[in-house]
């Protein structure tokens, strides 16, 4: 069927049109004759026939037109070639093609109307609208001419097709009338456009009758708003630099994609801003609020494809080791890839400083192609830091969570909540409790910041939390997270990290080329062994950067090529080497080597006991915490039970227990077995070899219970020269996290009872 593409001319069914011959000349339609059927296809944009050729591909033409057209019949063609056409019904345009000669043809299918208006109602509504137009034209001098024209209308479609060029509606709105299937809705759109035309004309002529019907007032208000908006848009285009704050925020609110609640609140604040004026005392506060909420990204992100292979490459390139950590992250990404949405547990990375907890969050963001934002929670005491301040307070600000969302500019960033173990609470509330809603997938889809006072969807955010220890994290908050331990690095791993990551980055930071400075492997090993004492690599990074700074000075002074070796390392490094505890060479009764875990990693710990003249007092020194003091009491009870003869005269002397270093606070249950062994050695007079170390909590029944931080403790044992280590039997599974080079250096003996340890060290038989 021949198709006639037209633009900005609305055609509806059951209407007769007259077209001049020139109207179709550009389409070269010469084969039409009376009785032929054609279809009108409506172009989305106005065509430029002189500069733009007609596309010939079907898909290109379909992109240019609306999918609904109007079938029509050629009624007659006069001698001059002018056309009389009668429209019939609406059709769906299934395909459309154009020949090289410019003739356009279309394949169509009938598009039925939804007849939800009775014939009587149609006539009644048309007659009412026709009557209103007749009354309207009486107000003007040309009303008599217009009256005869209006009386010729036979239906409401003839009305709209005749008056459409005068209506203040866009081309898209005109086509929307045609595309509407429901007759009732189509009538409503026509009436709205028709009455808006009437009311806009009345606005210019000072309408005499102010007692308009309620719906007429609505139409008039809509007409005024549209007219003002059109004029204001034109002014804004002419002078964009003079656009007011109100107009800017109005546009931002419309484009933001806010949810309904947020949109209402923003509109409410915008209206207050209009009334306040720039000189109002609340103008600045209202401005800041609107600036914040319109800067946030409210739009729900599309589910992006997750490439697990790429993610694995990124994690391996950015971090050395951490095999189990990477496996757990990849598992979470795999679940997200299957569900096509944010899923899985909130990850809590726990480990010593410098082990890569925070930086791995950046790698996750890089692997997912998302924005990265880090929020430090250390030292936060006020709940408002998380939830924000209410706007009634002077200086109110949003909470750190929403501030981070604004900073990221995305609705699905990777957000690292750093140092959740260092949250505190005081009269300002409990910030840890405020985090419960943030980290709970069942609640955070409607997180409400007090400053915003409207819900915001955090369910698409990939949350990662970090902590050095979990003891200080409240149980309800801890239950919402999955704990992933970050073990300390062995010296071999630190060497690899230094060569692959730290040294290249230090070169880049200092502007040093590889050809200018070489740091030998033995020098790196010496820095690790003698100048750092940590589980992570933060201190090693500082030492490497210090070497590069010293080298930079020499290079600037004229030296061409430098090499750092163990022999000349002191010339390049700041400060002295770090003192490391080494096992004593001589065994002494009452002194046993223990293993401890600190925030900086593992250390050896000597338990020293001595009997002195006195009255049976127990003296404890070394800044021991309450838990460790309880371990002393348990150990003493166990020793009294096992060695009644040796301890029967305990009331005649004082028992002094000391744990160096005295200036360092110590606490925790894992020294229980060491305390028990030291006291047993003291009372029996039997020595325990200094190269034997142990760790484990003891019960009053004599059992050895599991402890934490085993990888770091075993690394400390190797550094100190320990050869044999006793560990709780329940910690055997943790040996999987211990580096192979560490396990090769030690004889590790799992035990489940105090009696096993005492027998193994030679105190009992």
For residue 57, report the phi and psi dihedrals to the nearest 5 degrees: -80, 140
Q: How far is CA 699 from CA 492, 590, 654, 706, in A?
A: 37, 21, 24, 11
Separation of alpha carbons 475 and 41, rounded Å? 67
Beta carbons of 423 and 414 less than 8 angstroms apart:
no
Report DSSP state, residue 666: B
Beta carbons of 454 and 410 less than 8 angstroms apart:
no
Beta carbons of 266 and 224 less than 8 angstroms apart:
no
Separation of alpha carbons 510 and 505, rounded Å? 9
Beta carbons of 177 and 169 less than 8 angstroms apart:
no
- Rg of the chain (C-alpha set): 41
Complete DSSP assignment for 212-241: --HHHHHHHHHHHHHHHHHHHHHHHHH-GG
Give the pair of three-digit tokens for residue 529. 């062994």
Separation of alpha carbons 164 and 675, rounded Å? 96
Give the active site residue among 98, 670, 680, 681.
670
Output b/e per residue, 623-636; b: 16+ Cβ within 10 A: ebeeebeebbebbb
Give the pair of three-digit tokens for residue 82. 């002018």
Chain center to CA of 408: 8
- A 10 A CB-CB count for 409 gives 12
670 is catalytic: yes
Q: Using the structure block, give the residue that is written with the tokens 């065994």.
A: 587
Q: Using the structure block, give the residue that is written with the tokens 């720039």.
A: 278
Beta carbons of 405 and 370 less than 8 angstroms apart:
no
- What is the H or E stretch that residue 620 is in? strand 618-621
Separation of alpha carbons 548 and 518, rounded Å? 10
Separation of alpha carbons 73 and 82, rounded Å? 14
For residue 88, give the nearest of 35, 39, 51, 156 by alpha carbon. Answer: 39
For residue 749, report the phi and psi dihedrals to the nearest 5 degrees: -120, 110
- A 10 A CB-CB count for 202 gives 18
Catalogue the active-site residues.
Answer: 670, 713
């Amino acid at each position: 069927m021949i198709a006639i593409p037209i633009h900005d001319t609305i055609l509806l069914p059951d209407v007769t049109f007259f077209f001049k011959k020139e109207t179709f000349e550009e389409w070269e339609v010469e084969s039409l004759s009376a009785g032929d059927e054609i279809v009108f296809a409506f172009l989305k944009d106005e065509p430029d026939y002189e500069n733009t050729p007609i596309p010939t591909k079907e898909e290109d033409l379909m992109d240019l037109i609306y999918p609904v057209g109007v079938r029509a019949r050629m009624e007659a063609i006069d001698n001059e070639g002018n056309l009389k056409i009668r429209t019939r019904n609406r059709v769906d345009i299934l395909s459309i093609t154009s020949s090289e000669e410019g003739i356009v043809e279309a394949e169509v299918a009938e598009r039925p109307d939804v007849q939800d208006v009775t014939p009587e109602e149609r006539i009644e509504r048309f007659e009412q609208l026709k009557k209103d137009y007749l009354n309207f034209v009486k107000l003007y001098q040309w009303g008599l001419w217009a009256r005869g024209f209006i009386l010729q209308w036979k239906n409401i479609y003839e009305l709209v097709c005749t008056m459409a060029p005068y209506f203040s509606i866009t081309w898209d709105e005109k086509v929307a009338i045609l595309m509407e299937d429901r007759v009732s809705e189509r009538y409503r759109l026509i009436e709205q456009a028709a009455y808006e035309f009437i009311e806009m004309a009345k606005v210019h002529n000072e309408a005499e009758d102010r007692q308009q019907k309620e719906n007429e007032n609505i139409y008039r208000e809509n007409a005024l708003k549209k007219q003002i908006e059109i004029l204001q848009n034109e002014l804004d285009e002419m002078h964009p630099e003079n656009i007011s704050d109100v107009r800017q925020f109005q546009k931002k609110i419309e484009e933001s994609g806010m949810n309904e609640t947020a949109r209402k609140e923003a509109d409410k604040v915008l209206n207050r801003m209009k009334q306040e004026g720039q000189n109002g005392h609340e103008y600045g506060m209202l401005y800041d609020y609107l600036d914040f909420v319109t800067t946030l990204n409210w739009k729900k992100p599309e589910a992006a494809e997750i490439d697990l292979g790429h993610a694995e490459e990124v994690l391996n390139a950015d971090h050395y080791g951490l095999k189990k950590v990477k496996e757990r992250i990849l598992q979470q990404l795999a679940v997200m890839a299957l569900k096509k949405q944010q899923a899985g547990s909130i990850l809590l990375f726990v480990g010593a400083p410098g082990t890569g907890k925070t930086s791995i969050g950046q790698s996750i963001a890089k692997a997912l192609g998302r924005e990265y934002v880090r929020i430090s929670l250390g030292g936060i005491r006020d709940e408002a830091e998380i939830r924000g301040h209410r706007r009634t307070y002077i200086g109110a600000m949003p909470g750190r969570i929403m501030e981070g969302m604004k900073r990221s500019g995305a609705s699905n960033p990777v957000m690292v909540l750093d140092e959740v173990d260092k949250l505190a609470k005081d009269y300002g509330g409990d910030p840890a409790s405020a985090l419960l809603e943030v980290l709970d997938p069942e609640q955070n889809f409607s997180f409400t910041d007090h400053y915003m006072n409207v819900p915001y969807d955090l369910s698409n955010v990939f949350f990662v939390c970090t902590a050095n220890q979990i003891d200080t994290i409240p149980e309800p908050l801890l239950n919402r997270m999955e704990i992933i331990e970050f073990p300390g690095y062995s010296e071999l791993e630190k060497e690899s990290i230094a060569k692959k990551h730290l040294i290249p980055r230090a070169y880049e930071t200092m502007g040093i080329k590889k050809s200018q400075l070489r740091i030998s492997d033995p020098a790196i090993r010496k820095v690790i062994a003698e100048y750092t004492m940590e589980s992570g690599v933060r201190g090693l990074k500082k030492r490497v950067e210090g070497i590069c700074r010293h080298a930079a000075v020499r290079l600037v002074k004229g030296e061409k090529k430098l090499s750092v070796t163990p022999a000349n390392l002191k010339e390049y490094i700041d400060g002295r080497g770090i003192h490391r505890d080494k096992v004593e060479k001589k065994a002494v009764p009452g002194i046993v080597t223990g293993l401890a875990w600190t925030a900086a990693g593992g250390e050896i710990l000597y338990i020293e006991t001595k009997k002195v003249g006195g009255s049976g007092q127990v003296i404890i020194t070394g800044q021991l915490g309450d838990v460790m003091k309880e371990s002393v009491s348990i150990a003493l009870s166990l020793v009294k039970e096992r060695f009644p003869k040796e301890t029967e005269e305990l009331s005649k002397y004082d028992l002094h227990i000391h744990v160096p270093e005295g200036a360092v606070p110590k606490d925790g249950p894992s020294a229980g077995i060491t305390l028990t062994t030291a006291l047993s050695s003291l009372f029996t007079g039997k020595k325990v070899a200094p190269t034997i170390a142990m760790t484990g909590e003891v019960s009053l029944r004599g059992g050895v219970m599991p402890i934490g931080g085993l990888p770091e403790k075993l690394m400390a044992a190797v550094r100190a020269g320990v050869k044999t280590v006793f560990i709780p039997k329940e910690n055997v599974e943790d040996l999987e996290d211990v580096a192979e080079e560490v396990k090769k250096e030690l004889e590790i003996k799992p035990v489940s009872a105090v009696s096993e340890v005492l027998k193994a060290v030679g105190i009992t038989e």
